[in-house]
């Protein structure tokens, strides 16, 4: 069954008496070329298990199931069940879960021991919570490939010094190698969204950063970008960590050779990490 066709998708929706739901971010992919680009970026082999978020009509699910050992796919909209029975019935390595992905217990959804990858044409209204849930979750992931709004991909991959560099850039690059694998126009979806899209590829890094410094790191990033117009000295004076006062911050500036007069948007990910570790060491 070739779902990568506007005609087939319109016919399926009409025959099942369905309309796309804007409130659930339903923009269905109808283009074979985009489909191939997403799946190729994920480099899936039969040894991989894949999680998909947002099954939709099953276009991406089918392509994933053809290449992976197995696919677990989560869809919130139960009214799509009759369509999926039709579009996925010939594939045996798909486990369909109906429910809100943000409420699924991840350890149950992604049993340990498999090589997990995540591939999804994301519902754009919950992109950030989905990303953080996966990256901070209990299961190690090999690679994550997402179709996201272009601006989100640009922020994810931004380097220090520009307007797009912010909390999302630092938090993702702290954990992953971040790459934008190409832009995608609105015309490849039904209905076309109002924004351009991009393929975002996240490859988790081997963890060397101490787990106990994560909380401090998060606070430093949040505070630096909540007050992004202020200098680091001013922003971090509002850090609200009970053992960090002017003396500890002075030690950051002098030991790590960071200029207290710069803004957070000029600080590299490695520098944020170094500050977190330095402050944590002073608590002990
Ligand atoms: N994968 C399909 C495709 O490429 O055509 C559908 C992509 S569409 C952009 C996003 C899908 O996510 C929709 O089918 C929508 O119903 C589903 N969705 C929205 N919120 C969700 C949630 N919280 N949990 C699981 N699925 C969700």
What per-residue confidence (pLDDT) applies to 284? 67
Residue whose CA lies nearest to ligand 1 atom number 20:
24
Domain total in the chain: 2
What is the domain-level CATH number for residue 233?
1.10.8.100
Domain end among 176, 204, 232:
204
126 Cα: distance to centroid of ligand 1 (angstroms): 10
b/e 159-184 (16+ beta carbons within 10 angstroms → b) = ebeeeebbbbbbbbbbbbebbebeeb
- Ligand 1 pocket test, pick from 109, 123, 124, 152 with the greatest ligand atom count within 8 Å of Cβ, gives 123
What per-residue confidence (pLDDT) applies to 145? 98
What average pLDDT does the structure give for the chain?
A: 96
Do both 216 and 114 map to the same domain? no
Do both 110 and 77 map to the same domain? yes
Distance CA 223, CA 41 (A): 34
Residue 1 lies in a domain: no
Beta bridge partners of 204: 176
Question: What is the rounded average pLDDT of the residues 167-184?
Answer: 97
With contact defined as beta carbons under 8 Å apart, do 73 and 96 qualify?
yes
Using left for φ > 0, alpha for ψ between -120 and 50, and beta otherwise, residue 19 falls in beta
pLDDT digits (tens, 9 = 90+) for 210-237: 999 999 999 999 999 999 999 999 999 9
pTM of the predicted protein model: 0.96
What per-residue confidence (pLDDT) applies to 1? 75
Do both 18 and 146 map to the same domain? yes
Distance of CA 7 to the CA centre of its chain: 30
Return the ligand 1 atom nearest residue 35 CA: 4
Distance CA 233, CA 224 (A): 9
What are the start-end ranges of the H helices in the chain? 6-15, 32-42, 59-67, 81-87, 106-109, 127-135, 150-157, 167-175, 214-226, 232-236, 246-256, 269-283
With contact defined as beta carbons under 8 Å apart, do 120 and 147 qualify?
yes
26 Cα: distance to centroid of ligand 1 (angstroms): 6
Do both 26 and 136 map to the same domain? yes
Owning domain of residue 220: 211-283
Residue whose CA lies nearest to ligand 1 atom number 23:
100
Do both 231 and 151 map to the same domain? no
Return the ligand 1 atom nearest residue 61 CA: 1
pLDDT digits (tens, 9 = 90+) for 252-269: 999 999 999 999 999 999
Do both 71 and 187 map to the same domain? yes
What per-residue confidence (pLDDT) applies to 208? 86
- Please tell me whether residue 92 adopts helix, strand or coil conformation: coil
């Amino acid at each position: 069954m070739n779902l990568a066709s506007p005609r087939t998708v319109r016919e399926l929706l009409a025959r099942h008496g369905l309309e796309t739901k804007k409130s659930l971010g339903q923009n269905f992919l109808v283009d074979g070329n985009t489909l191939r680009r997403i799946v190729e970026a994920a480099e899936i082999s039969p040894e991989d298990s894949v999680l998909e978020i947002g099954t939709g009509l099953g276009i991406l699910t089918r392509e994933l199931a053809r290449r992976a050992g197995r696919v677990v796919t989560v869809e919130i909209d139960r009214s799509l069940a009759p369509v999926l029975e039709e579009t996925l019935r010939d594939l045996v390595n798909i486990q369909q879960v109906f429910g809100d992905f943000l409420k699924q217990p991840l350890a149950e959804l992604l049993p340990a021991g498999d090589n997990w990858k995540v591939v999804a044409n994301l519902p754009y209204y919950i992109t950030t919570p989905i990303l953080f849930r996966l990256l901070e979750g209990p299961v190690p992931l090999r690679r994550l490939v997402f179709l996201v709004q272009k601006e989100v991909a640009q922020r994810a991959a931004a380097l220090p010094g520009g307007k797009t560099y912010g909390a999302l850039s630092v938090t993702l690059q702290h954990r992953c190698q971040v790459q934008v694998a190409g832009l995608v126009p609105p015309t490849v979806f039904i209905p076309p969204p109002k924004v351009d899209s991009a393929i975002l590829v996240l490859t988790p890094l081997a963890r060397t950063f101490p787990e106990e410094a994560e909380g401090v790191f998060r606070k430093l990033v949040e505070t630096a970008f909540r007050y992004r117009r202020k200098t680091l000295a001013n922003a971090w004076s509002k850090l609200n960590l009970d053992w960090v006062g002017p003396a500890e911050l002075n030690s950051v500036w002098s030991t790590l050779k960071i200029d207290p007069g710069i803004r957070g948007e000029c600080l590299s990910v490695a520098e944020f990490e170094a500050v977190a570790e330095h402050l944590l060491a002073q608590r002990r």
